[in-house]
Amino acid sequence: MSTKTIVAVILTALGVVVLAYSGITFKTPGKPVEFLGVSIKTTDSHFIPPVVGALALVSGIVLLVVSPKRA
């Protein structure tokens, strides 16, 4: 398999997953807060909207269908 095919399959799969769940939310560790000698851990929440999934799906399909032109 070529690199282009692998990227296309990954984009298509991620696009389907994001669209199936109507967007994906994930959390990452945030900056700890120091207040009166107490350290409080925080988290940052991130959201991937369904539009990004649709774009990934379409671009993956285009990469699979379009063949490069020979010079």
CA 63/CA 6 separation, integer angstroms:
10
* pLDDT exceeds 80 at position 71: no
CA 52/CA 24 separation, integer angstroms:
10
Model confidence pLDDT, tens digit, residues 25-63: 999 999 999 988 899 999 999 998 999 999 999 999 999
* pLDDT exceeds 70 at position 70: no
